Structure 1
Amino acid sequence: METPYTDHLSLEDFEQVYEPAEDSFLLLDALEKDLDYLAELQPHLCVEIGSGSGVIITALAKKLASFSLCLATDINPKACNATRRTAVRNGARLDSIRCNLADALRPQSVDVLLFNPPYVVTSDEELQTQQFDSHVESSTDPNLVFSWAGGQDGRRVTDILLKQLDDILSPRGVLYILLLRENKPDEIIKYLEDLNFQAVRFMERRIPGEHLYILKVTRTSYSSS
């Protein structure tokens, strides 16, 4: 799976939008590893939450173009714009919607859900003071902080998404989510099991200062092979 071009995005763009990094590339590698599974699944709707520059959903859209509608959501309008531009630059068909998590989507409609959440452990005070103003069209530096600041255990946003997962995923849906070791992935796996999901450590990677994981999550009635 080709890594999308980002040469259309400037340094100014990356002052407002999360720049692809090792976590982004790990998620891309996980999707490439699971392409046979995804091709067999033939998802109707693929969604990336918090798309940032749009490289992940763009790469997937190019691979699944023949049978999938791909959408991106982000609360940062600059990220929505960057995602659309990345899609155009790479010849991918997708759209980007400004909303919080999956609030704009029809319940239980998502067959493939991608999420690289803000996972860095920070104080809750830092997270709470770096909120987006939904009534302001311009985006400032605090929006970029909000793309990585995760609050206590780095899981404030992740935990909200997981509580909504049953309402987001279709009956055959699958979630690929990126986590940091400090996010306590084993605790998350147990939590998901209690919600009747099966979660496995699908891929992991150590980089300087971080140990990253990709969890693959399906409903217990569907195989996660």
Structure 2
Amino acid sequence: METPYTDHLTVDDYEQVYEPAEDTFLLLDALEADIPYIRKIKPLICLEIGSGSGVIVTALAKQLTETFCMASDINAHACRTTLRTAKRNGTHVDTINCNLLDCVREKCIDLLVFNPPYVVTTDDEMKNQSFAESQVSSNLVYSWAGGKYGRRVIDELLIRLDGILSTKGVLYLLALRENKPDKLISELYTLGFMAIKFLERRIPGEYLYVIKVTRK
């Protein structure tokens, strides 16, 4: 799977959206490795939550030409940047400026991708965030602050996963070791899902996993 061009993005853009980094490229590698499976389920709708620069969803859109690809982001600038990235790479992605899955119809997503805010922070830092504040320039806290165990946003997704994923749906979720991935996998099982550590990688200062989630 080709890494999309990002030469259209500027320093000003990266002051407002998350710049592609090692976690981005690990997620890209996992999706590329599992493209045969993804093609096999023939996804009609793909959604990336928190698209940032738009690199991940653009790469998928170029590969899955029969799939409707869209992205949601709480950051309006990220939505605009994602549209520009898709256009720069000769494809199309729709974007939704919303929190997580607030504007998505029930049980319609066949391919769900999420590189969440996973950094361990205080819960107070999470409580002080709001949708209005997320629209402020240079407010990148939403792209990395994850609260206790870095799990607050991840746990919100888990609660809503059954209501959003289609019967054949698959989720690729990026997680940090501090997010307690084994416990995460166990919790997903109790919610009716099978989850595995599909790909993992040590990077400076972090150990990352891509967790693949399907229905039992």
Normalising by the smaller structure, the TM-score range is over 0.9
Q: Who is 1:79 aligned against?
A: 78
Q: Structure 1: which 5+ runs fail to align?
A: 221-225
With the length of structure 2 as denominator, give the TM-score of the two structures. Answer: 0.97
After superposition, where does 1:1-225 map in structure 2 within 5 Å?
A: 1-65=1-65, 67-133=66-132, 138-142=135-139, 144-220=140-216
Tell me how far 1:92 sits from its aligned partner: 1.3
Instruction: Summarize the Cα distance change of 1:59–1:47 in structure 2 as closer, same or farther, 3 Å threshold.
Output: same
Task: Determine what percentage of the aligned residue pairs are the same residue.
Answer: 61
Equivalent-residue separation in structure 2 for 1:168 and 1:117 (angstroms): 17
Deviations 1:164-211 (A, max 9, x none): 000010000000000000000001000000011000000000001000
Matched-pair contact (CA < 8 Å) for 2:83–2:92: no
Matched-pair contact (CA < 8 Å) for 2:5–2:85: yes
Equivalent-residue separation in structure 2 for 1:208 and 1:163 (angstroms): 31
Q: Structure 2: which 5+ runs fail to align?
A: none
With the length of structure 1 as denominator, give the TM-score of the two structures. Answer: 0.94
What RMSD in Å do the two structures reach over aligned CA positions? Answer: 1.1
Equivalent-residue separation in structure 2 for 1:55 and 1:176 (angstroms): 15
- Partner-residue secondary structure (3-state), 1:140: coil
Equivalent-residue separation in structure 2 for 1:97 and 1:199 (angstroms): 27
Q: Structure 1 segments of 4 or more deviating over 6 A?
A: none
Tell me how far 1:103 sits from its aligned partner: 1.3
Equivalent-residue separation in structure 1 for 2:208 and 2:130 (angstroms): 25
- Partner-residue secondary structure (3-state), 1:107: coil
Equivalent-residue separation in structure 1 for 2:144 and 2:22 (angstroms): 13
Number of equivalent positions: 216
